[in-house]
A and B are shown apart, each in its own frame.
Chain A
Amino acid sequence: MKYATFYIADDLFGIPIYLVQEISRQATVDPIPGNDSRIEGLMNLRGRTTAVINLKRCLFKSGITAASTGQRKKMIILETQDGLPQEALDLGLNAGDEPVVLLIDDVFKIIDGELESFYPPPAHVNETYIEGVMKSGEDLISLLSIPKLILGLVTHMEDTNHGS
């Protein structure tokens, strides 16, 4: 299977390519009120209002300041469950029902990899969203779990709404 890999600060992450609808430059994001800094804001995606998730804020534990790469940021527009090809479904991949956009620091490349080659995640990242780690050449790539990420954000939002 192929993986789209990208940078968050100096670390490399990857997601299955089937979960990617498109990679683009950073578009305009409208901030939304709320106290969850992991949500960068909303953007208009081909006429649909879409949430933009700031992955850096999701992945790094508090207190860790990630250095900026100096590059312009990029966006990964995630595929919806409806858009997943049969091959993805056969592999048991899941996506959200609504389109979601991930804000990343920079795109790296598309790599080939097998799920079996992933190791347990490193300690410095929030392991909740990391399914494993894979070596690609000299690079160490953390595999991100999109369902867990989205679920975590939705749960948080629901908790916040109930609390208020």
Chain B
Amino acid sequence: MAADMGAAKRFSIFDPSIQFEHREFYERIVSELNGIFPVCNQGESTAMEISANPTEQEQITELMKRVENFSRELLDVTKKLFDQYYVAKEQLHASILHTTAYNKINTLDRNLLERTCDVRWWALETAFSNCIQFYEETRKEASDIFRLLEGISEASSDADDKALERTSQEISFSNQLERIKGGLENFSGLLKQNALEDFISAFNELNNCLDSTSTANVGKTLKSFLKRLIQLASKIEFACCRLEDINNSYTLYRDLVIADSDGFIIANANSERRLAVLGLCVKEEAWFVKALDTKNGTEYFAQDIYPSNVEDQLSLVYSTAVRENSDENDKVSGAMGVFFDFQGEAQIILEEYMPMDEAGQILDGCYSMFTNSRGKIIASTDENILEIGESAHLPKRNRTLNDGESMNSYLVFEGCDSAVFSARTDGYLDYRGLGWSSHVIIPKSHIFENSSDADIYDISAEELLNSKIIPDINKQTYRKVQDDKESIQLISLNGIVFASKLGKRGGALGPIFNQITKSGDYVTSRMEDLLKEMANAELQLNLKALENFSKQAIDLIDRNLFERSADIRWWATDEYFWTALLNPTEENFIKAGNRLKVINGSYTMYRNLVLSDANGDIHACSRTELKNELSKINVSDQVWFQMGMRTTLSSEYAVQDVADSNLEKNKERSLIYANGVRRNGEREGDSIGVLGILFDWDTEAKKILHTCLPKDRQGMIIEGSVAIYTNNQSEIIETTDAERFPVGMKLDLPDQIFDLKAGDTVSGLLEYQEKRYIFGSSKTKGYREYEGLGWFAHVLRPIF
């Protein structure tokens, strides 16, 4: 049975979520307050006994009535207080876990958006269109050769019929001929790994046999075809090699494949799977069919998780057409499919932000999963309980979300009272997503458990209760409790004043007012304790929220920068660049510049891409209008260039931390990735020049930081909050508040931040420019091959 966690929820003191200690606490307060009423009655009776004066009697009765009223109000406030406490905990948790669920699906979508760019760009690689084109031509020629060999075969058969007995040599020749004919007839079968090499060898032998018997023309044709077959093998090998290069740079793919127009895979990246994949027919698979249907190079198809023949596990495939001459508007000649390591990536994302035990395992009863648009589980943190391919047993409202919608419910999951937080993707930028949802399941007890003590923070409970951290409704309750406390205190004091004026007669009223004072003090001070506990819980949860935001900020930039490290590794192998550096003519550098411009056109997160020779002189750039200006600059003294020159593998890359650069005079800071360009695009060797790519750091970083600012319960960014990145020198490298936290300024951060290990988070209080903040900070842990640059993300929220 699921229950809504909506705003109308009220916590009765008998709600099972209410902790035993709090229920006991409540009962004591109620008992104490109920004890005041008989005391007041006694006070009224005593007034009658000690005074015959109606005015005096009325004054005492009036005081007692006022005490009773305040006691009733306090009873009501007590109930509200528990309700507010638990609602506050629930709402804060809901806010954190809703954000967590959304972040998971959003992180995945951000990742998948990059994949749609990847496949479209890679499909334009000339090695692939050349390979397909050459394969198609060879296949056509194979038909001619088949007919030619059939003629030879028939002639040979006629001769055999006339001969009385066939020699073993003749039998062997005949078999060889038939085998070759079979290979030619089923040409796609030659795509199987090693099949083409074997065929070439067999064809060569046959050719040698025929050399002596056939005419010169036939011999020439066969030799020419043999040469073509060898060339085809070489082109397929090169295509596989280029796919491997891509995969080495972009390690989040399990495989990349190129298929011809009939759906036969002619090249793949994953050498371990090559035997099974090459020659495989995928013409029935949607990713292939839809790729052929794309209108031009800007279109792609995303195949939702499904079983593909290419892999032995469920696949998530992005595909597009390979076009003739690698022209995005030319005719379709085949298809490229990229098989994203969804399971691996999903696992990383699903485990993030989950409550962990000391051994780094997700706590019992906590789960996270992704479901597809049909509500089937496509990845989960515990496949024994949340099985892949099964329907997620969630409340309907959590399964039937609209794009961008989120939902929180209570349910019993695996025998445990739990809360489930779900969020459905609304895509990211122009990627609309596949209608997937993310779900986080947490035991209810985890939501309502006691917070740790806030005494470790340099803030008093009173300060906290008057701070911006505490929602207005809770502050109002705090004030109401203080107000009632004061009212009861004043009534008691005035009662004692009044009694003293009655002289000895008033002595009987003294104990009554003392009891009222005592009870009032007890109740209100206990309620203040509870309010302080509530404020403490609010502080803890807000700190947790800031930690999560800072973690999100560092994770998003790490993931973004991983893509940049992948880009540079792949682009540095581009033929245009090594050709121009090996043969440094103006024409070649113009071609290299145009190539950079095309790349930059697709990858708009770069401000410029530059190609320098081994001396540090820039010869080409994507912003061709800057070519003359940049060609006067020598970058040999710049860190990115020096690091790039030192790389010896195409799988390496270099990055210079955010710094001033004379390549961008109008920018405060540049972030430059570099890699050496190697002779013939080889994977290993000395650099013959350096490709440098200038990431549009401030725009991208600012965008991310803005998404990580804390929001109030209405979804509005909390005024005065700020998100920043600092480098390992505590210098601000990007900020959402350039006025108070400008780039370049060194921030005096608490020591605990510097003690953080990679990937860890911390939170607390800090003072900056006489203003106090709560903060959450995270240290980079990098992402895949991107190791991070020792940066931190901090999210600050003002306390007052």
A residues engaging B (CB < 8 A)?
2, 4, 17-18, 20-25, 70, 72, 74, 85-87, 107, 109-110
Cα A149 to Cα B462 with chains together (Å): 35
Is B490 part of the contact surface with A, judged by Cβ < 8 Å?
yes
Partner of A20, one of B462, B489, B497, B503: B497
Q: List, sorted by A's number, 15 A–B pairs whose CB atoms are closer than 8 Å.
A: A2-B496, A2-B500, A17-B496, A17-B500, A18-B500, A23-B490, A23-B494, A72-B486, A86-B503, A87-B503, A107-B489, A107-B493, A110-B493, A110-B496, A110-B497
| Chain A positions within 8 Å of B503 at CB level | 85-87
Quick check: B490 and A4 within 8 Å, CB to CB?
no
Interface residues on B, range: 10 to 19
State whether B493 touches A25 (Cβ < 8 A). Answer: no
With both beta carbons as reference points, the residue of chain B lying nearest to A87 in the complex is identified as B503
B501 within 8 A of A: yes
Q: Chain B residues near A2 (CB, 8 Å)?
A: 496, 500
**Cα distance A20–B501 when bound, in Å?**
10
Complex Cα gap A23–B494 (Å): 6
Distance, CA A21 to CA B498, complexed state (A): 8
Distance in Å: Cβ of B356 to nearest Cβ of chain A:
41
Contacts of B486 in A (CB 8 A): 25, 72
Residue of B nearest to A1 (CB): B500
Q: Bound state CA distance, A22 and B498, in angstroms?
A: 8
Q: How far is the CA of A20 from the CA of B500 in the complex (A)?
A: 10
Q: Are A22 and B496 in contact (CB under 8 A)?
A: no
- Considering the chains assembled together, what is the distance between the CA atoms of A85 and B503 in angstroms? 8
Q: Chain A nearest CB: distance from B509 CB in Å? A: 12
Additional A-B contact list (8), CB under 8 Å, known A25-B490, A72-B486: A2-B500, A17-B500, A18-B500, A20-B497, A23-B493, A85-B501, A107-B489, A110-B496
B418 to chain A, nearest CB (A): 43
Pick from A20, A21, A70 the residue with the most CB of B within 10 Å.
Answer: A20
Q: Which chain A residue lies CB-closest to B513?
A: A110
Q: Who on chain B is nearest to A83 by CB?
A: B501
How would residues 459 to 474 of chain B score, 1 for a CB under 8 Å from any chain A CB and 0 otherwise? 0001000000000000
Measured CB to CB, the nearest residue on chain A to B514 is A110
Residues of B within 8 A of A70 (CB): 462
- Cβ–Cβ < 8 Å partners of B493 in chain A: 4, 23, 107, 109-110
A115 to chain B minimum Cβ distance, whole angstroms, is 16
What residues on A are CB-neighbors of B489 within 8 Å? 107
Least distance between B316 CB and chain A CB atoms (Å): 60
Q: How far is the CA of A77 from the CA of B619 in the complex (A)?
A: 90
Q: Say which residue of A4, A86, A87 sits within 8 Å of B497 (CB atoms).
A: A4
Chain A residues with CB under 8 Å of B501's CB are 18, 85
Give Cα A23 to B503, complex, Å. 19
Per the bound structure, the CA–CA distance linking A135 and B490 in Å amounts to 23
Q: Which residues of A contact B500 (CB under 8 A)?
A: 2, 17-18
A2→B496 CA distance, assembly (Å): 9
Min Cβ gap A35→B in Å is: 33
Inter-chain CA distance A110–B486, complex, in Å, is 15
Residues of A contacting B496 in the complex (Cβ-Cβ under 8 angstroms) = 2, 17, 110
A150 to B490, CA, bound (A): 25
Complex Cα distance, B491 from A23, in Å, reads 9
How distant is B269 from chain A, measured CB to nearest CB, in Å? 69
How long is the Cα–Cα vector from A109 to B503 in the complex, in angstroms?
19
- CB-defined contacts of A72 to chain B, threshold 8 Å: 486
Give the docked Cα–Cα distance between A126 and B457 (Å). 40
Is A24 in contact with B497, judged by CB distance below 8 angstroms?
A: no
B642 → A minimal CB distance (Å): 60
Q: Is there contact, CB below 8 Å, between B490 and A17?
A: no
**Considering the chains assembled together, what is the distance between the CA atoms of A4 and B462 in angstroms?**
27
> What is the CB-to-nearest-CB distance from A121 to chain B, in angstroms, rounded to a whole number?
25
List residues of B (165-205) whose CB comes within 8 Å of A's CBs. none
Chain B residues closer than 8 Å to A87, beta-carbon distance: 503
Write out, one digit per residue, whether chain B residues 483-525 have a CB within 8 A of any chain A CB (1) or not (0).
Answer: 0001001100110110011010000000000000000000000
Whose C-beta in chain A lies nearest to the C-beta of B489? A107
Report Cα–Cα, A87/B505, bound state, in Å: 12
User: How many Å lie between the Cα of A86 and that of B497 in the bound state?
Assistant: 15
| Residues from chain B with Cβ under 8 Å of A21 in the complex | 497
CA distance A25 to B494 in the complex (A): 12
The answer to whether A107 and B490 touch across the interface, beta carbons within 8 angstroms, is: yes
The residues of A that contact B462 with a CB separation of less than 8 Å are: 70
Q: Give the complex CA separation of A18 and B490 in angstroms.
A: 16
Tell me the complex Cα distance, A22–B489, Å. Answer: 12
Closest to B502 in A: A85
Which of A17, A21, A72, A86 has the largest count of B CB atoms less than 10 A from its CB? A17
Query: How far is the CB of B496 from the nearest CB of chain A, in Å?
Result: 5
**Chain B residues whose CB sits within 8 angstroms of the CB of A86 once the complex forms:** 503
Which residues of chain B are within 8 angstroms of A24 by Cβ–Cβ distance?
490
Q: Chain B contacts of A74 at CB under 8 A? A: 490
Min CB–CB distance B736 → chain A (angstroms)? 33
Contact partners of A109 in chain B: CB under 8 A: 493
Residue among A23, A70, A72 with the highest chain B CB neighbour number at 10 A:
A23
Min CB distance, B519 to chain A, in Å? 15
Give complex CA distance A110, B506 in Å. 15
Contacts of A18 in B (CB 8 A): 500-501
Query: How far apart are B501's CB and chain A's nearest CB, in angstroms?
Result: 5
Smallest CB-CB separation from B463: which chain A residue?
A70
The distance in angstroms between the C-alpha atoms of A110 and B501, with both chains bound, is 14
Chain B residue at smallest Cβ distance from A2: B500
The 8 closest A-B pairs by CB, nearest first: A17-B500, A110-B496, A85-B501, A20-B497, A23-B493, A87-B503, A2-B500, A22-B494
Shortest Cβ distance from residue A78 to the other chain B in the assembled complex, whole angstroms: 11
Q: How far is the CB of B59 from chain A (nearest CB, A)?
A: 11
Looking at the assembled complex, report how far the CB atom of B453 sits from the nearest CB atom of chain A, in whole angstroms.
23
Determine the chain B residues whose CB is within 8 A of the CB of A110 once the complex forms. 493, 496-497
Give complex CA distance A79, B503 in Å: 16
